[in-house]
Structure 1
Amino acid sequence: MPDIWFYHLEKTPLPQVLPDLLEKVVQKGWRAYVHGHDDDKIDVLNSQLWSYNSASFLAHDREGDELASRQPVLLGTSGDMVNSPEVYVSVAPVDFPDISGLQRGLVVFEGADDEHLGWARQQWKRLKGEGADLAYWKQNTQGRWEKMQ
């Protein structure tokens, strides 16, 4: 099973955090599948990825589009990872798929969303019980990520 990292958002909303996380994935030469639970959230993330930084470009697409299988970052709701990613990114309380063939799993959840927070806690307990290698990252007062022990 791959490493699974949990990112607890407390200072910065998901649309602002996700581009930075995905840039790090792509810099490693990996592909990512971003799994949401509704089209509205995927629309917001898709728009943010197009406009977050005028000095850079993060190639991505939505599942179902013609070139979806070729994208380094694919956004979707089905869980069908047609772009053959190395990294699975959960951004909503969705069924966690089998990611045993991947390099890493990321669970990005907003602390202000009680449903998502509760779901993330359940996933942590379940995955820990399965012997997964887990890491918990939390934003400090400056909004930087700190790995918690």
Structure 2
Amino acid sequence: MTPVFFYHLERQPLDAVLPRLLVTSLERGWRVVVQAASDERAEALAAQLWGFDDESFIPHGTKADGFPDLQPVWLTSEDENPNNANVRFYVDGTSVGEIGGLTRAVIMFDGNDEQAVEAARAGWKRFKAAGHEVSYWQQDEQGRWQNRAAAK
């Protein structure tokens, strides 16, 4: 079953965290889909990826760019997998669809939004009950991600 990782954003916003996690995913040889709440948000995240770091580049695209099969990272607002990704990031409270066949599903939620926290708790229970391995990640004072809880 697909492992589900819950990332609790408290110390840094999504815009600061997502690019680094995408770099790590690409370094592992994974293809990625990022599902955002709207096409506008997907485009904004894509624009942010262009300039997040002067030393590196994250190859990515959106519906506006086309050619999804050529994009290692695809940003969308739809429940689609046009680049044959094996890792999927759910951001902005997007609904988690079918995750079977993925190497990893990552749910990123804003710790300052009580509704997002409650949705993450419900998701944890749902995926755990379905037999998925679930883990909860939180940043420490130095900004490193720590696995604070895991369950099968």
Provide the C-alpha distance between the structure 1 equivalents of 2:63 and 2:132, rounded to a whole number of angstroms.
28
Give the secondary structure class of the aligned counterpart of 1:136: strand
Segments of structure 1 that go 5 or more residues without pairing to the other structure are: none
d(CA) in 2 for partners of 1:105 and 1:57?
23
Which residue does 1:148 correspond to in 2? 148
State the match for 1:29 in structure 2: 29
Measured on the aligned residues, the alpha-carbon RMSD in Å equals 1.3
Cα distance in 1 for partners of 2:36, 2:19 equals 15
Q: Secondary structure at the match of 1:117?
A: helix
Q: Give the match for residue 10 of structure 1.
A: 10
CA offset digits 1:79-130 (Å, max 9, x no partner): 1110110101101222211111111111111101223222211111110111
Letter in 2 for 1:26: L
Query: Structure 1-normalised TM-score?
Result: 0.94
Q: Say how many residue pairs are matched.
A: 149
**What is the TM-score with the length of structure 2 in the denominator?**
0.92
**SS of 2:41 mapped into structure 1:** helix
Q: Which region of structure 1 is more displaced relative to structure 2, 13-22 or 117-126?
A: 117-126
Percent identity between matched residues is 36
Structure 2 residue aligned with 1:120: 120
Distance (Å, rounded) in 2 between the aligned partners of 1:118 and 1:64: 33
Consecutive unaligned residues in structure 2, runs of 5 or more: none
1:68-79 matches, cutoff 5 A: 68-79=68-79
- State the partner residue of 2:95: 95
Paired with 2:95 and 2:9, the residues of 1 have a C-alpha distance of 20
Which is further off, 9-18 or 114-123? 114-123
Contact 1:15 1:44 survives alignment (8 Å): no
Runs (4 or more) in structure 1 with deviation over 6 Å come to none
The structural deviation recorded for 1:64 is 5.2
